[in-house]
A and B are shown apart, each in its own frame.
Chain A
Amino acid sequence: MMDGIYEGITTALTTYNIMMVAIGCFAGTFIGMLPGLGPISAIALMIPITYGMDPSSGLILIAGVYYGAIFGGSTSSILINAPGVAGTVATSFDGYPMAKKGYAGKALAIAAYSSFSGGTIAAIFLLFAAPALAKVSLSFQSSDYFALMVLGLTAVAAFAGKGKFLKAAIMTIFGLMLATVGTDADSGVSRYTFGNLNLIDGISFLLLAMAAFALSEALMNIIENKKMSKEEREALNKDIGNLKVTKEEVKEMVPVIGRSSILGFFVGVLPGAGATIASFLAYGMERSLASAKEKLKFGKGSIKGLAAPESANNAACSGSFVPLLTLGIPGSGTTAVILGALISYGIQPGPTMYTEQPALFWSVIISMYVGNLVLLILNLPLIPYIAKLLAMPKQILTPLVIFFSLIGVYLVTFNTFDIFMMIGFAVVAVGLRLIDYPMAPMILGFILGGMMENNLRRALTISDGSINFLWERPITASILVVTIIMLISPLISQFFSAKIIEEDR
């Protein structure tokens, strides 16, 4: 392990890779700040640039973009109450009131320190959790992987939010369906290509991610026609004030950061959960732990209320890398896109990555830490200037985002058919967004589709075509039991909440 860590450090700390983290953090912060554009779009937009790099530098850049996007989301949450990312909605609860009181600089500094600490604690956890899980997962077989993928996809639907379970489930199935387009890896037979040669290789994940996120988000921005209010424009041009945090405030933050980071990391490890749920849970936890007097401060600029979601969402980001790096199974839309990027570099993450490519495995983990450091040292002092970029008119920014999305996909294949297919998918995605169908489960289903089918085929072949493999191995059976519990839990909770309402009456 120590050799691996050493190799990882030497890879991550080369001048070139440090520069990549810095560029990634900066680009991610800027994209994450733009309302409507989240980390998935930010990563998708950067992937074409990474194709020319070696995998570790590419992945390091992507990790930087991921952290930057989350940090950028916090900045727009605090300054203009417009979270660019769902994971930073809870940040606006106390961050925005603080900024309104004239302490925008302090709020941004608290957010940055909490993010940094959350990321650091989670990176330490990751250092131990990832190899441990990688070792365990070496004993996994196809049936276990198949069950894990079913669990991951079910969890995404189960955590989708109240009343959205079936919507997320059908979007996952939609993603799985799209993954079957192209040549079947086993038999070489074409499926759903309708005789079109452009579809023989299937739909590119980058194309789908770009269409479903960056392009459709930009189109939604155009359609919704929301203009920045005068108040928001003024807030961006206003001086953000002092970035200093007092000793008393630090004392208040420390225990909150500790608790929220641990909670955030474990929520991040869970498939389907991620930064949004982690930040809300941490906020809720701190509010319930606070004294009656402190409780009143929540929602009005409480330091605890700001530090909790910020440390939790960053810790969850690191946590979400655990299943990705060790099992090769992403637990969220963002890690699904990262997995897609890894596969296109020719790397299949999983337990063997830890043993066969230790430099890559560890450099990603180390660079996450470096990313946090860069955010603190470089981004925080630059925030007043980056925030000014937000004031750049949308009329200029939106066409540029669309241009980068289109050209990013075109430059990979130089096939104009991809541009047209992307436009088609973006139109469908806009339609689905208008009727509140979530996009992340679709991309997760799409990325896992091929792997899921392969593992199912292998498991069925080993068991001679019988479905006994589902309950013959204890690991497979236990994972499937958890999946079933997850499937029926929304129904149970709905039943109980209905009962409570009845009793209250």
Chain B
Amino acid sequence: MTKTRAGSLFFLAFSALYLYQSYNIHLLPGSHYDAMTARTFPYYLGIIGIIISGLMLLLTYIKLDMNDMFDWENLRTFDFKKGFYFILAMIFYGYTIRTLGFIISTIIFLIIGFKILESKSWKVILLTSFGVSIVFWFLLTQILGVYIEQGMIFDYFLGVQT
């Protein structure tokens, strides 16, 4: 499997789905008199997408480029596990930023991030995560005047400030 073929298959499927979904775009009554409706542009984009990705796919069958093959040896050296853990950490951050509040969730996210990347010194980890979170929070709320909600957990324990 070449990289171009894998990509062209993805885009062919995406373009086909995109084109199919363009028929679900609701049209206003009388819009068929318009020179261009909300559906026109997506419709042609879908068609062009199918043509280009189809052409790419076809070309990979006509002329196989050996340099374009997946380099499995190289891919094996990649650390996908760490990447996956980081994505989980980001999702966790997304879920906790409003519940735990900016400072606590950021500290936890950074500590997790540093640990995933195998930082060893706890002194550096704690100093950086606490330092960055607090300094950044101070900069945003006290200097730039950006309002950041305190977090639902604080609302729950301390009562909602009105």
Instruction: Look across to chain B and name the residue whose beta carbon is closest to the beta carbon of A410.
Output: B97
Contact indicator A416/B97 (Cβ below 8 Å):
yes
Instruction: Look across to chain A and name the residue whose beta carbon is closest to the beta carbon of B136.
Output: A407
Contact with B along A126-167 (1 / 0, CB 8 A): 000000000000000000000000000000000000010011
Q: How far is the CA of A410 from the CA of B95 in the complex (A)?
A: 12
Contact indicator B21/A184 (Cβ below 8 Å):
no
Contact with A along B36-59 (1 / 0, CB 8 A): 111001100110110011011001
Given contacts A173-B48, A411-B146, contact A399 B59 (CB under 8 A): no
List residues of chain B with CB within 8 A of the CB of A184. 38
Q: Is A225 an interface residue (CB 8 A)?
A: yes
**Total count of chain A residues near the partner, CB < 8 A:** 56
Contact with A along B2-33 (1 / 0, CB 8 A): 01101110010011001001000111100100
List residues of chain A with CB within 8 A of the CB of B136. 407
Q: How far is the CA of A414 from the CA of B98 in the complex (A)?
A: 9
Given contacts A177-B49, A402-B90, A423-B87, contact A393 B59 (CB under 8 A): no
Q: Is A465 an interface residue (CB 8 A)?
A: yes
Interchain CB contact (< 8 A) of A400 among B26, B65, B110:
B110
Contact indicator B93/A419 (Cβ below 8 Å):
yes
Contact with A along B77-101 (1 / 0, CB 8 A): 1111011001100110111011000
Question: In the complex, how many angstroms separate the beta carbon of A305 from the nearest chain B beta carbon?
Answer: 28
Contact indicator A461/B36 (Cβ below 8 Å):
yes
Q: Is A471 an interface residue (CB 8 A)?
A: no
Contact indicator B11/A174 (Cβ below 8 Å):
yes
Q: Is A100 an interface residue (CB 8 A)?
A: no
Interface residues on B, range: 35 or more
Contact indicator A399/B113 (Cβ below 8 Å):
yes
List residues of chain B with CB within 8 A of the CB of A406. 90, 93-94
Interchain CB contact (< 8 A) of A191 among B3, B38, B95, B110:
B38
Contact indicator B48/A225 (Cβ below 8 Å):
no
Contact indicator A222/B79 (Cβ below 8 Å):
yes
Given contacts A177-B49, A395-B117, A419-B90, contact A166 B55 (CB under 8 A): yes
Question: In the complex, how many angstroms separate the beta carbon of A41 from the nearest chain B beta carbon?
Answer: 17
Question: In the complex, how many angstroms separate the beta carbon of B84 from the nearest chain A beta carbon?
Answer: 9
Instruction: Look across to chain A and name the residue whose beta carbon is closest to the beta carbon of B50.
Output: A173
Contact indicator A223/B83 (Cβ below 8 Å):
yes
List residues of chain B with CB within 8 A of the CB of A232. none
Contact indicator B38/A186 (Cβ below 8 Å):
yes
Given contacts A222-B79, A411-B146, A437-B7, contact A403 B35 (CB under 8 A): no
Q: How far is the CA of A192 from the CA of B17 in the complex (A)?
A: 11
Contact indicator B91/A411 (Cβ below 8 Å):
no
Contact indicator B97/A419 (Cβ below 8 Å):
yes
List residues of chain A with CB within 8 A of the CB of B45. 173, 176-177, 180
Contact indicator A169/B117 (Cβ below 8 Å):
no
Contact indicator B94/A420 (Cβ below 8 Å):
yes
Instruction: Look across to chain A and name the residue whose beta carbon is closest to the beta carbon of B149.
Output: A414
Closest CB pairs A-B (n = 4):
A399-B113, A419-B94, A465-B35, A435-B3
Q: List 23 A-B contacts (CB under 8 A).
A: A166-B56, A170-B56, A177-B14, A177-B15, A180-B41, A184-B38, A186-B38, A187-B27, A187-B31, A189-B27, A192-B18, A192-B42, A222-B79, A223-B83, A225-B78, A399-B109, A419-B93, A423-B87, A434-B3, A435-B6, A456-B36, A460-B36, A461-B34
Q: Chain A interface (Cβ within 8 Å of chain B)?
A: 52, 163, 166-167, 169-170, 173-174, 176-177, 180, 184, 186-187, 189-192, 219, 222-225, 393-396, 398-400, 402-403, 406-407, 410-411, 414, 416, 419-420, 423, 427, 430, 432, 434-437, 453, 456-457, 460-461, 463-465
